[in-house]
Structure 1
């Protein structure tokens, strides 16, 4: 395993309050130039990112526990990614693969087919964003099955396009005012162990969902069942063991396409290349994005050859899909994950998070649960003595951490979760420092 290289000193260092004067000046300029619907959770403006550090324009070094929402898993300036991008840019920035193809697209398709679960013959198609990948997975499933119904789950997040907004569960801020949405999308209950009735198994939770599908949709009408193996925006919900295998078996038995939306949980984030591997399932189609290209915009769908090839020529694509520079970045990111052993580091990060926060999660009256896998962990905050969601605590804690130079993100259908998504390359001492700031903020909020 190669040693991780850093160009910034990996420590928290505050020169000014956050935000500092230069960030405040940029915020004023932003208000006169950028639409208010584009919001940011961090008030500081970035100048350079490396490892687990964000250097802002005022010279503050912040600890990054968000990774641009699970994007910069290999770091925001990984040497191999930077090298590959520079080389690609010198050759050409764009040709449009649908006009003049190039090797990088093909090589990435080959590589991603090797990494996704299942030993069957696969094909891939590349796009720009997670939303595009999910929408194209639905198009492919509908073409293959000659059916139209799409089944999704409570607490799901699948994107911001019209179809993926229909598939997304949470109204604010994603769906409010943007309807009407695409039709023939049906929502069923998710396995949510913290909030499910005591004792319900994963298989029983799946059977609860499947009964609704059969009675309210009709198995013969289902083109695809689409699920995040670990839900992201919904609150880092890990379904009970047996839930996912029961769903995949039902899809096999009823001719529906099982789609694993691995946009947030994939690409080594949970300690395996794809989170589907934790329960040994083999999805028909897998969508990926975020961590695949070290921060460059790239996404895709990969899956069974007979399903992927069911679409007519020209039916899949997009002007920028599989851009050559983004493909080069992705190949560099994959090489970085392999050389630096980042799947193993994700599991080490989980261990450290549990060491630093486990006892507090058990004792704090406002922490309902610490959950997740690998470097995809979250705490759910509740009102003391109950399971009532406590969004105010999550916001207060995130703000307190920001004041101390630690970037954390909230999430969840109820807005009451704080998620931890550090870069997989984060220095472990830096990680512990950030977690201790977080722990102190929890203690103060729960006092």
Structure 2
């Protein structure tokens, strides 16, 4: 009797729970689920806290969440590059200053110089400006990478010096004056009512995203079969695809639920000889262009990291730089390219940030380096190197921006916001240490 009871108890304890079966069948990253849970708690907490204090909750509204997505774009773009930097056991403290100096460069170019030669409102002004900003960022990043890789100066020192040098250069370039307004087409890259793709365009993007998700699941399953790897159960594939497509469709509904302001609608109707009915006109914002830029960067960076030799080399260097060098990887050249890529992404973030503000200021990108590093770490990138994901960094950027936006909505002072951000960063590193110890 005792033996049978012990056998029954053992079999019950050994059988996995429903949650364990779900996680095993879907192969969902527990860190990813944890970040979604934290994001939900942040949104709900600030929403209900605002409802209690102010009588209404402003966090979970289409307007605020739409603005939150736009605000996250520049930080998220840079966070995807910071993943590669940290994975290779380096750090870049200069990204905020790069946003400032490239933003000021683009401001001077499109306001002071290009109109003199191409004419005011020339359609090529915004293209030349954006490309120049990205190239300037890439060249500065490559210079940092050269100092780190070929001159043996620690990345912390090089980028800390870069933070001071390029912030000072941004100030000296125009004696600290604000440059505005930027080119009207360039301004669309920052969002706003006109810098969106509308309801129809958003549904098209959503449909394409769902098709891409289904294609990736099918191609991934075929690849596993071809190489003899274990397959996810069909119900796991369907669940993952269903959850991903549900998030996409929910995002489309959300951005389409946020209408243009009445004043903008009146201007638009007057410019296009449209009669506005008495009950008003509803025009959806849809996805903002900065958000689409972030999505595009996220997809391209994910392909770069997971599908190319470059990405494999990055993680090989992060795992063991000496072994990577012995395996034939040119660690110095890879380091230079990684920092050049980080600089280019900082330049692209400056495009979005300056276009959104419709100006170039010396304060552009101030303290962005802290938010970018925090986003990457919160997203699961280990400061010990060798571990990190692009989607995790983007989600980490959304978490950081949600914290900042929520504190602004309920009236927290700037100093309190900085205390919270710093505390979250330290806590994220602490959790990373616990996770790595548990993995061992």
Give the TM interval when normalised to the shorter protein.
under 0.3
Tell me which protein shows more helix as a share of its residues. 2
Q: TM-score, normalised by structure 1?
A: 0.27
Question: Which of structures 1 and 2 has the larger relative contact order (alpha carbons within 8 angstroms, sep 6+)?
Answer: 2
